[in-house]
Amino acid sequence: MSNDWGIPDWLEQKVRKRDTRCVYCHKIFNNSSKDRATWEHVDNNSKNITESNIALCCASCNSSKSAKSLEAWLKSDYCKNRGITKSSISI
């Protein structure tokens, strides 16, 4: 495993190929602190390491979502102000 989160190499490679932008706000990843790629557990269960629960998102979205459920986070001002909705997420 090449990461600290217990994600198998084959799955990490598959997700990195799939998620070339933030799955929430669709920013292109770069090395700035807020736009860098971070690992996201969509359902906040760190033991659920599956393709449908692991995603890459920008540090800003990951920080905003934190431990909130996806449903609760989508109701936040952060998401409303950025047009992030259930149908706009690309997971």
Delimit the domains of the chain by residue range.
9-84
Q: Considering the domain delimited by 9-84, tell me its CATH architecture.
A: Orthogonal Bundle (1.10)
Place 1 in a pLDDT band, splitting at 50, 70 and 90.
Answer: very low
Strands (E), 1-91: 37-41, 54-58
pTM: 0.87
| pLDDT bracket for residue 91 (50, 70, 90) | confident
Residues 35-71 as b or e (16 or more Cβ within 10 Å = b): bebebbbbeeeeeebeeebbbbbbbbbbebbeeeebe
Identify the pLDDT of residue 42.
84
**pLDDT tens-digit series, residues 3-48:** 777 889 999 999 999 999 999 999 999 988 889 999 998 887 777 8
50-88 confidence digits (pLDDT tens): 898 899 999 999 999 999 999 999 999 999 999 999 999
